[in-house]
Amino acid sequence: MKTPFKLPSAARVRRFAADNVVVLIFLFVTAIAVPSSKLSGTYIIQDLLTRYGRNAFLVFSLLLPIMAGMGINFGMVLGAMAGEIGLIFAVDQGIAGVQGLLYAVLVGAPIAILLGWIAGQVLNRARGREMVTGYILGFFMDGVYQFVVLYLMGAIIPITSKAITLSRGYGIRNTLGLDSVRQSLDKLLKLELGSFDLPMATYLVIALLAIFIVWFRRTKLGQDMRAIGQDQTVSHSAGIPVERTRIMAIVISTLLAMVGQIIFLQNMGNMATYNAHRQTGFFAAAAILVGGASVAKATIPNVLVGVGLLHLMYIVVPPAGARLFGSAQIGEYFRDAMSYAVIALALALHAWRKRANAESARAGLRGAASGAVAPAKMEGGAE
Amino acid sequence: MPDDTPLLSLEGITKDFYGTTVLRDVSFALRRGEILGLVGENGAGKTTLMRILFGMPVIAETGGFGGTVRIDGQPASFRNPFDALDAGIGMVHQEFSLIPGFTTTENIMLNREPSRRNVAVDLFGPRMATLDRPAMTARATKAIERLGVELHPDTLVSEMPVGHKQFTEIAREIDRDNVKLLVLDEPTAVLAESEAEILLASLRRLAAQGIAIIFISHRLHEVTAVADRVVVLRDGQLVKDTSAKGVEVREIAAWMVGREVDANARVRSDRKYGGPALEVEHLWVDMPGETVRDVSFTVREGEIFGIGGLAGQGKLGIPNGIMGLFAAGGTVRLHGKHVELDAPRAALDAGMAFVSEDRRGVGLLLDESLDWNIAFAAMQVKGAYLKRWLGGLFSLRDEKAMRALAEQYIELLEIKCTGHRQKAKELSGGNQQKVCLAKAFALEPNLLFVSEPTRGIDVGAKKLVLDNLRRYNRDEGTTIVMVSSELEELRAICDRVAIVDEGRIAGILPPEAPLADFGLLMAGERAAEASA
């Protein structure tokens, strides 16, 4: 939709800066860090290409809950846990290659649906506070996950492979080697372009997901989610099943996060059984926000730009830290701090914008008294 | 008309909420293509009647209603608003129920979108069908054409002028194939004069197509302009059901506000006023639901100044804005001195006190005792009822003085309680209101705002509250500004009554002015016309 009038250019610039302040700050920091890192262009690009394949799917899983007005689904870590359980079984059964990944998805899917449904129920009871509730729910489910994987697996849930169980006979080892499925998707269709390796099969899966999301937006369910995302009361009075639709948004998001975590881990090649999912939600949230999304609005380009920008910073900042401060660790601290800052800033900006919008909407109701008349009168009255 | 069965007939509708009768034996009928203007003051029963018609759950939850609703001669009982929609009754609410980021089309077709089947439908159910955008646009365009207005199907609602939003709402209701009856609740309240004209023309167009319309509005000249018949409700009873032909706005206003009672019994000859106490110029207040747009008035020293008007027109916004509880602007002077707005402390320090209409929220510390409640404001604002120690380094509550104060007011205002230590939340509404008054009196203000002082309290307490306000004004000479929905009580105790309409003062009348004049002001007629 075109704006009917043109803002003066200075105001336009300021408005653009205000709308994209998160992205701009990030670009600024990265622009300083790239030359100081002394990394070669080829290295940076290759690393970026790998990280796109590894992370983009996970970030996509955040789109639908944002569309449904539920903010960033920090509860996506539940899906990540489901994916890990799937992988544990795939490795235990010794199913290798892409079949192993498919097996992991099949095992993970019912778990993800169940967890997503639970999360949806909880979030429906915590309207308006979905993000913090989802975040805490992630911590709680982490405990449940530990109980299942550390105590039940091998004791009650049958695990055949001795190689992945702890020496005491039950529980899964701290680090799970994923050699049987390692990069099986990435290597399925490998394209060598000059000095770059492109994991085309992974990209294809991501592209299919993007197409799915575009299609999904045009379905009745997608339209309902958009409506609910903007006004739950109006949607409800129009007969849209608000609670059910919100649960569906979370279930789909959890399912996608499950698949995303499997893609992530097959690329990594091994899995920190009890830690791998801990920061999944945080990374995905930082990525989508860096890409210019807000808590209320996110698009596919936001995902693509965000994954690129966030990981560019992750690549260049530690070496830059090492060169500038003599310690790569400072760079690592710095990039974590930056990512958290981005999330905090985006949340604060969102709240601030919401208030400013509400205020300007109310100001529109005022009569002539607030317009040109009021300031003049007020000066007169102050004498 | 060839078909004699009325489309809608209400027969002996009676409803009470917890023993209070809000509708008594209301009967009227409505034919196809007829426009019925439904008018009445707040609390006359319009809203309850519409809730019954729509089968709102709140009606069943409070014990149902008496009488029969017939649609096309068949008794109808709707369990929820969706049943009513299925029966062909559409409602356009006062507040917009539109999705701001959706286009005109998307809003008109909300949750009724035509869609196309695909494989996913068979796998996952009908909600996976893709929307048929061209069909949506076509249907929306048809509904807009039926209305006869200019609306672009692809404009976002958030970018529309307010009039277009109203049309979008109406288009959504008439898109239903079976729509027979349309209820519009104050559809012109947010519209400018010219937009309202277009809306009325659209309503006539719809009526000509055979749709019956119930048009609820407080703008009586619109009612007489568009309606075929006028039904007037007052205190839950139908007082007039007449053809709109030849009916004057003034007559309707008189029916609406009630019989001409003798409100002039009061002796006002001995009233003396000083110079201006409170001067308000071009005040605006952003109080949600009670927006004040542009209000100017002057209250004289020693006067009781009444502010009346229908709910939602902004009368409550005036004291709340001046006392700094909501964002406000304009000029307010108290005894010639400028009062800072948006700062409750400044208003209190200037010597104003406020008895809020929100007793339990703003007025009282519900979990605290009476003496605390009564002394609290004076303690905060004036530092009264405090004992100072070490040259003012510490100050502690002066329990003895607080107790004396509380007991004085408990006796004076006849507050029914077990003692000054009883908690405020344990009192009845009327007694809570008396505590609020006592709290304001304890501040010894030179100007007192009282907002809805008798809302929700019984008759005896009402009289006591009003008598006390009057006595306080007489004995202490305190200027009082009283805001109330009850015209009768404003006329009974005020020296002048201003009527607020759509965020502006429609006119200021002496209390002995004929009731019809007050009715006219509430109906959006300006002062010039009313006082003529």
Cβ B482 vs Cβ B234: under 8 Å: no
Least CA distance to A296: which residue of chain B?
B101
Cβ B409 vs Cβ B374: under 8 Å: yes
Tell me the chain A residues in contact with residue B110 when contact means C-beta distances shorter than 8 Å: 227, 234-235, 238, 240
- At residue B388, the 3 state secondary structure works out as strand
Tell me the chain B residues in contact with residue A239 when contact means C-beta distances shorter than 8 Å: 82, 111
Whether A44 has a pLDDT exceeding 90, the answer reads: yes
Least CA distance to B295: which residue of chain A?
A369
Interface of A with B (CB under 8 A): 1, 215, 218-221, 223-224, 226-227, 230-231, 233-235, 237-240, 359, 362-363, 365-370, 373-374, 377-378, 380-382
Question: Considering chain A, what is the average pLDDT of its residues?
Answer: 87
Query: Percent of chain A at pLDDT above 90?
Result: 58
Q: Of A2, A113, A216, A220, which to mutate for an interface test with B (greatest number of B Cβ within 10 Å)?
A: A220
Residue-wise DSSP of B503-515: TEEEEEE-TTS-H
How many beta carbons lie within 10 A of that of residue B464, not counting itself?
Answer: 20
pLDDT tens per residue across span A268-327? 999 999 999 998 998 999 999 988 888 888 999 999 999 999 999 889 988 888 888 888
pLDDT tens per residue across span A331-347? 888 888 888 888 888 88
AA identity, residue A54:
R
CA distances from A152 to A104, A147, A169, A226, A322 (A): 19, 7, 11, 41, 44
> At residue A334, what are phi and psi to the nearest 5 degrees?
-65, -45
Residue-wise DSSP of B79-132: SSHHHHHHTTEEEE-SS----TTSBHHHHHTTT---EE--HHHHHH-GGGSEE-
Tell me the chain A residues in contact with residue B111 when contact means C-beta distances shorter than 8 Å: 224, 227, 235, 238-240
Domains of chain B listed by start with CATH number: 1-88+179-258 (3.40.50.300), 96-177 (no CATH), 260-351+445-532 (3.40.50.300), 364-443 (no CATH)
Least CA distance to A224: which residue of chain B?
B111
Residues sharing a CB contact under 8 Å with residue B72, sequence separation 6 or more, in sequence order = B5, B7
Least CA distance to B280: which residue of chain A?
A381
Q: Do A367 and B329 touch (CB under 8 A)?
A: no
The beta-carbon neighbor of B129 closest among A219, A226, A382 is A219
Residue A5 resides in a domain: no
The beta-carbon neighbor of B127 closest among A219, A237, A239 is A219
Tell me the chain A residues in contact with residue B130 when contact means C-beta distances shorter than 8 Å: 215, 218-220
The beta-carbon neighbor of B282 closest among A240, A362, A373 is A373
What pLDDT sits at residue A8?
61
**Least Cα separation, residue B98 to chain A (angstroms):** 6
The beta-carbon neighbor of B282 closest among A226, A235, A377 is A377
Q: Of B284, B285, B290, which to mutate for an interface test with A (greatest number of A Cβ within 10 Å)?
A: B284
**Least Cα separation, residue A8 to chain B (angstroms):** 20
What pLDDT sits at residue A372?
34
Q: Of B108, B286, B341, which to mutate for an interface test with A (greatest number of A Cβ within 10 Å)?
A: B286
Residue A365 resides in a domain: no
What pLDDT sits at residue A370?
43
Q: Do A237 and B81 touch (CB under 8 A)?
A: yes
Residue A362 resides in a domain: no
Residue A1 resides in a domain: no
CA distance B47 to B60: 15
Least confident of A3-17, A241-255, A291-305: A3-17
CA distance A173 to B513: 90
- At residue B27, the 3 state secondary structure works out as strand
* Lookup result for tokens 């979990």: B367
- At residue B19, the 3 state secondary structure works out as coil
**Mean pLDDT to the nearest integer, A13-27:** 81
How many beta carbons lie within 10 A of that of residue B145, not counting itself?
Answer: 11
- Residue A159 structural domain: 17-354
Name the residue with higher pLDDT: A52 or B80: A52
Residue A361 resides in a domain: no
CATH number for the domain harbouring residue A258: 1.10.3470
Q: Do A368 and B294 touch (CB under 8 A)?
A: yes
Tokens of B321: 């804005």
What pLDDT sits at residue B525?
73
- pLDDT-derived band at A377, boundaries 50, 70, 90: very low
Name the residue with higher pLDDT: A356 or A368: A356
How many beta carbons lie within 10 A of that of residue A287, not counting itself?
Answer: 28
Q: Do B101 and A230 touch (CB under 8 A)?
A: yes
Q: Which of A350, A313, A303 is nearest to A27 (CA)?
A: A313
Residue-wise DSSP of A289-330: HHTT--SS---HHHHHHHHHHHHHHHHHHHHHHHHHHS-HHH
Whether A126 has a pLDDT exceeding 80, the answer reads: yes
Between A and B, how many CB-CB pairs are < 8 A?
A: 112
Q: Do A374 and B330 touch (CB under 8 A)?
A: yes
Q: Do A240 and B111 touch (CB under 8 A)?
A: yes
What pLDDT sits at residue B263?
47
Q: Do A223 and B81 touch (CB under 8 A)?
A: no
Name the residue with higher pLDDT: A370 or B365: B365
Interface of B with A in 248-287 (CB under 8 A): 281-284, 286
Q: Do B333 and A381 touch (CB under 8 A)?
A: yes
Tell me the chain A residues in contact with residue B286 when contact means C-beta distances shorter than 8 Å: 359, 362-363, 365-366
Residue A4 resides in a domain: no
Residue-wise DSSP of B251-267: HHHHHHH-----GGGS-
Residue A364 resides in a domain: no
**Least Cα separation, residue B24 to chain A (angstroms):** 29
What pLDDT sits at residue B332?
93
In chain A, the number of structural domains is 1
CA distance A251 to A144: 19
Regarding beta strands A190-193 and A196-199, do their DSSP bridges make them parallel or antiparallel, or are they unpaired?
antiparallel
Q: What is the pLDDT along chain B (532 residues), one digit of tens a residue?
A: 445 788 899 999 998 887 778 888 999 999 999 999 999 877 788 888 988 888 888 888 888 888 999 988 888 888 888 888 888 898 887 777 899 899 999 999 998 899 888 888 888 888 889 999 999 999 999 999 988 888 899 999 988 888 888 889 999 988 887 889 999 988 887 777 788 888 899 999 999 998 999 999 888 888 988 999 999 998 888 988 988 888 888 888 888 877 554 444 455 567 778 889 999 999 999 888 888 988 999 999 989 999 998 888 889 999 999 999 988 888 999 998 999 888 888 888 898 999 988 888 888 888 888 888 888 888 888 777 888 777 777 878 888 888 888 898 888 888 888 888 888 888 887 888 888 989 998 888 989 999 988 887 777 788 888 888 888 888 888 999 999 988 888 888 899 999 998 888 999 999 888 888 888 888 877 654 444 3
What pLDDT sits at residue B267?
54
Residue A381 resides in a domain: no
Q: Do A219 and B110 touch (CB under 8 A)?
A: no
